[in-house]
Amino acid sequence: MEINVLIVDDEAPARTLIREFLKGHPSIANVQECADGFEGVKTMQEIKPDLVFLDIQMPKINGLEMLEILEPDLLPSVIFVTAHDEYALKAFEVNAVDYLLKPVARERFDMALEKALSRIREGTGNQREVKGLVSMEGPGPRWLDRMVVRAAGDIHIIAQEDVLCMEAQDDYVLICTEKDEFLKKKTLKFYEQKLDPSVFIRIHRSFLVRADAIQRIEPYSKDTFIAILKNDRKISVSKQGYAGLRKRFDF
């Protein structure tokens, strides 16, 4: 059995090292390289490699974010290769084959490769779908500061500052910025917990809104209200939501 391998790392010498280590292994058919996350996602969709050596800290989008936006059935076996040891727990959560620390030791590399090959042979190779975690807990900001979404084949990075509101739509969340809307397969509850509550407030079962994007609040029916945002978008406010707003803005 021969497998196709993809190496994703922004540092050329790091990619070369993995490539060199792969030389001489009989089960390796093809080795390709990508220098950043966007390229990586594109290539993974195109060539559907069996095994990916993935760096985590990369420009634009990082290794974990990449996995998050891939279709679940496209997820290959992953071996993380990184200088940071703090993501080991996360790697375990996503069922990665292994986690190699830089500088990479040949013996550890060989062991990881063997593990990957046997998992692929047995058919248990694929990554578990990356659900509900990619917010880089551990070192770094406490609250989510950006989201990565796929739309019509393009990858978009949305900064937390640009999000005006979010609307729950079944299994998805509609993320609204001033000019655009994006669907992401997450729950509203997830974002309620991961976004800074001093910035975002849940004003309705289906709506999470950026507090300072609210221009004014008007009564709608007996107990409910409508919040009008800066871009004139209207959002329903439930009774509890209104109470929350009153508390927040002190009126």
Partner 1 sequence: MPAPGFLVFYLSLWVCCTLVHYILLGGYADLGTGFLALDAFITQTSLFLLLLPLWFLVRFRKKGKDYSLAGIVNALVGGGLLLGIWYVVMRESLVGLLYTETGAGELFRNTLGLRIAFGFLAGLAVYHFFLASRLHREAREANERQVELEGLVLQTELQALKNQLNPHFIYNSLNAISSLTLTDPEKAREMVVKLSDFLRYALKQDALEMTTLEKEMNAIELYLEIEKVRFGEQLNHRFRLEEQDKNLELPGLILQPLFENAVKHGVQQLPGQPGPAFRVIGNEKETILEVSNHFDPALGRFKGEGVGLENIRNRLRLHYGNGQLLQLEKLGNVYFARLHIPKPAN
**Residues contributing to the site for partner 1 (CB under 8 A):** 10-14, 16-17, 20, 35, 57, 59-60, 83-84, 101-104, 139-141, 145-146, 157-162
Min dist CB 244 to partner 1, Å, is 27
Cα–Cα distance, 34 to 147 (Å, whole number): 22
Query: Over 163-184, what HEC string results?
Result: EEEEEEECCEEEEEECCCEEEE
Of 119 and 186, which CB lies nearer to partner 1 in the complex structure?
186
Cα–Cα distance, 105 to 109 (Å, whole number): 6
Of 140 and 197, which CB lies nearer to partner 1 in the complex structure?
140
Of 113 and 237, which CB lies nearer to partner 1 in the complex structure?
113
52, 140, 182, 212 from 167: Cα distances, Å: 34, 27, 10, 17
Beta-carbon contacts of 78 under 8 Å, excluding residues fewer than 6 positions away, are: 51, 52, 54, 67, 94, 96, 97, 127
Of 81 and 227, which CB lies nearer to partner 1 in the complex structure?
81
Query: Over 108-175, what HEC string results?
Result: HHHHHHHHHHHHHHHCCCCCCCCCCCCCCCCCCCCCCCEEEEEECCEEEEEEHHHEEEEEEECCEEEE
Min dist CB 35 to partner 1, Å, is 7
Min dist CB 70 to partner 1, Å, is 19
Of 8 and 237, which CB lies nearer to partner 1 in the complex structure?
8
CB atoms within 10 A of CB 199: 14
Of 84 and 233, which CB lies nearer to partner 1 in the complex structure?
84
Min dist CB 235 to partner 1, Å, is 23
Computed from CA positions of residues 204, 236, 165, 40, in that sequence, does the dihedral angle turn out positive or negative?
Answer: positive
Min dist CB 75 to partner 1, Å, is 24
Min dist CB 201 to partner 1, Å, is 21
